[in-house]
Chains A and B, each alone.
Chain A
Amino acid sequence: MLFELVESIQSFSLMVYHSARYSLTNFRSREVLIQMDRIGVGSVPIVFLASLFAGLDMALQFEVVMAPYGAKALLGKVVATSIVRDMGPVMASLVMSARVTSGIASEVGMMQATSQIEALSVMGVDPIDQIVAPRILSGILMMPILSVIGDFLGIFGGLVIAFLAAHIPAPLYWSGVREALTLPNMVNGALKPVVFGFILTSVGCFYGMKAGGGAAMVGRTTTRAVVAAAVWILVANFLISKLLLNLWGNEG
């Protein structure tokens, strides 16, 4: 058990190291663009819906809690802070893990099961170079963009509730939002998606590359990949939050 864990950490680290090396020395622009389209553009609708409804719900819940204290005017600031610092990137990443991590794990797993990965090696091409590096790079590049789209929609969802249910004027809501967009919050919101994009894609690739056997094995591997990605996103979210809170205190 311990040996397997150490072996997995070692293989994962080697995979990431070689991916980084290939991304710098043998940049595959065509593959990266294809993956950016699949991972990024293809995920816009699902991030759009998830973020919008998360924003709607968050504003609804906050309004209920804040109204008795006469703090409804702060709704814009509270919603925007929660979304930009935490909920936006986390929500988008968790939704993306269901789409992107599972997609990568099953695709790479099937390539492994049908000897396509072996065929690459046999043709003198390192599979990490052709398969893994472009996916990880695309995840790192696209996740922040998706996260910004998600943040905007979540804040917009909050505005809908603020205006219709809490009867807060839109300018008041927006001034709260502007107050929330401080440097520490923006750094929080920019750093997390980069890390989450890395986790989503690298975990999918790692499990996919380890898959063997037939369709059943690929299915099991895909499930494990999605669970692992979701857990690691939450762990990373906590660690980054803690790190930045230590760095900036409660600023923002």
Chain B
Amino acid sequence: MFENVSLGYSDKVIVRDINIEIPDGKTLVILGGSGSGKSTLLKGVLGLLHCFSGRIVVNGAVVDSFSQSELLSYRQRIGMVFQEGALFDSMTVGENVGFWLWEHTDMTDSEIEERVRLLLSFVGLIETINLYPGELSGGMKRRVAIARAMAPQDPLVMLYDEPTTGLDPFTSKSICDLIRQVQKEYGASSLVVTHDLQDAFRVGDFFTFVKDGSLIVTGDRDTISESSDPFIRTFLAV
């Protein structure tokens, strides 16, 4: 939940007075043009940026109030899919997916391998378990990144930063379908940042538009479709 949040870098405010609530178990899509401040909001949820004003509340806790060790523990329960996947180059696909489990659980190697295989089967990439990220296509990297983000079994929230950017329409659709599947599997609230309206409507339950660091409209698909805001009308028409 964002309560009157203003965020930015150093002394530059990128988003201001943001108020958003993500209903439990639903997917909220943040839409907007490049540089509008969408990804900045995700960094706020992750505690990578501190609020200039207002607060971000996740599961009843204020993110900015965490100490460094609390922040690391909190982040362990966030599933995050980065724009280009951000897979670790030096590790195989299996090691990437199992990394969180090695770091934060007492599972044995065989238990981890079993879970990794399960997650990779879920995203349809079990055959890539011993490959390195450099050997995968863009779409495959996103799938592996989603599998990696699913490693915590009880994530508080799933975050997706431009999950379909740079992918062809077919691959984009398959990634969107996968995001829906993940949401059904975990029932965790999801926050998706994208500039692609079609993909947004595929994955989202609710939508909010960011323009020049401020929210213009928030609502369900009908609210967005019926909005008379000129920026949204233009966005819908493109």
Instruction: Point out residues on A near B: beta carbons under 8 Å.
Output: 110-111, 114-116, 118-119, 121-126
Asked if residues A121 and B75 are in contact (CB atoms below 8 Å), the reply is yes
Instruction: Point out residues on B near A: beta carbons under 8 Å.
Output: 46, 48, 72-76, 78, 80, 82-84, 86-89, 99-100, 103-104
Asked if residues B86 and A115 are in contact (CB atoms below 8 Å), the reply is yes
Closest 10 CB pairs of A and B: A124-B76, A115-B86, A119-B86, A124-B75, A124-B72, A122-B80, A115-B82, A116-B86, A123-B100, A122-B75
Q: How far is the CA of A126 from the CA of B80 in the complex (A)?
A: 16
Q: How far is the CB of A112 from chain B (nearest CB, A)?
A: 11
Q: How far is the CA of A177 from the CA of B82 in the complex (A)?
A: 59
Q: How far is the CA of A127 from the CA of B82 in the complex (A)?
A: 17
Q: How far is the CA of A111 from the CA of B82 in the complex (A)?
A: 13
Q: What residue in chain A is nearest B75 (Cβ atoms)?
A: A124
Find chain A residues with CB under 8 A from B84 CB: 114-115
A sample of 17 cross-chain residue pairs with beta-carbon separation below 8 angstroms, ordered by A number, consists of A111-B89, A115-B83, A115-B86, A116-B86, A116-B89, A118-B82, A119-B82, A119-B86, A119-B88, A122-B46, A122-B48, A122-B78, A122-B80, A123-B100, A124-B74, A124-B75, A124-B76
Q: How far is the CA of A152 from the CA of B176 in the complex (A)?
A: 61
The answer to whether A123 and B48 touch (CB under 8 A), given A116-B88, A118-B86, is no
Asked if residues B86 and A114 are in contact (CB atoms below 8 Å), the reply is yes
Find chain B residues with CB under 8 A from A118 CB: 48, 82, 86
Find chain A residues with CB under 8 A from B82 CB: 115, 118-119
Q: How far is the CA of A110 from the CA of B82 in the complex (A)?
A: 15
Asked if residues A123 and B99 are in contact (CB atoms below 8 Å), the reply is yes
Find chain A residues with CB under 8 A from B100 CB: 123-124
Given contacts A110-B89, A122-B46, 18 further A-B contacts (CB under 8 A): A111-B89, A114-B84, A114-B86, A115-B82, A115-B83, A116-B86, A116-B87, A116-B88, A121-B46, A121-B75, A122-B75, A122-B78, A123-B75, A123-B76, A123-B103, A124-B104, A125-B72, A126-B72
Q: How far is the CB of A211 from chain B (nearest CB, A)?
A: 15
Find chain A residues with CB under 8 A from B80 CB: 119, 122-123
Find chain B residues with CB under 8 A from A124 CB: 72-76, 100, 103-104
